[in-house]
Amino acid sequence: MDSYTTIDGTAVAEIEEKKSRFIASLAHVETEEEALAHLEAVRAANRMARHNVYAYVLRGAGTGRVRYSDDGEPQKTAGLPTLEVLQHAGLTDVIAVVTRYFGGTLLGTGGLVRAYTQATQAAVDAATVVEVSVCVDFTVRMAYPAYESFVRLATDCGGKVLDTQFTDVVTVRLRMIDGTQDPFLAKLTELMRGQQDVAASEPFTAPF
């Protein structure tokens, strides 16, 4: 099953180290073009900053695409620690840009590694982390008396109810991870005595 962990939207966090400000900006991206667009947006918003260090991890064939830049900081003190935080968190399809406003005091290599690591980790902690899987949505129509039993069955089978509409019948939209639906559909046939009205989507990737 093709599932992976990423973040929803964006997240920003800031730390200060010896009067240098480190502002980490995380964004969910799905292509190199989106990653570079986020980098340019951060650069444009921080034209007075000394450094805009970045790292990104994208899904793809094999190990995907991984890039990082120290942006003028000493080698391996900035981009690599930023990347390692993303990898340690198990995130993909994400870019981190850490903007540094120099505070006048040199931090040394150990101080830089620590500061870039802490800033990126703070942004990861502030982010909404989501698991993306191959899913299938079902739309199920049923009579009112079957509703509570249906919700119990759906939950027991690992489904998530997305939406419920109460009209002359109850219509429930349900999401399941692709590959887990067969036991659910078999039990649903039993529950509804073969009278169920079910429509299924094609498999697609979505947070679950």
The residue extents of the domains of the chain are 4-127, 134-207
The confidence score (pLDDT) of residue 207 equals: 79
The CA distance from 140 to 137, in Å, is: 10
Note the CATH number of domain 134-207. 3.30.70.240
The confidence score (pLDDT) of residue 63 equals: 56
Would the pTM count as exceeding 0.85?
no
CATH 3.30.230.30 is held by the domain 4-127: yes
Q: Please give the angle made by the CA atoms of 150, 155 and 157, to the nearest 5 degrees.
A: 95
The CA distance from 41 to 53, in Å, is: 13
Other C-beta atoms closer than 10 Å to the C-beta of 72 total: 11
Please answer whether residues 17 and 114 qualify as being in contact, where contact means their C-beta atoms are separated by less than 8 angstroms: yes
Note down pLDDT in tens along the chain; length 208 residues. Answer: 468 899 999 999 999 999 999 999 999 998 999 999 999 999 999 999 999 999 999 987 555 699 999 999 999 999 999 999 999 999 999 999 999 999 888 899 999 999 999 999 999 999 999 988 899 999 999 999 999 999 999 999 999 999 999 999 999 999 999 988 999 999 998 888 877 789 999 998 887 7
The CA distance from 9 to 91, in Å, is: 13
Rg of the chain (C-alpha set)? 23
The confidence score (pLDDT) of residue 1 equals: 47
The confidence score (pLDDT) of residue 196 equals: 73
The CA distance from 26 to 127, in Å, is: 8
The confidence score (pLDDT) of residue 49 equals: 94
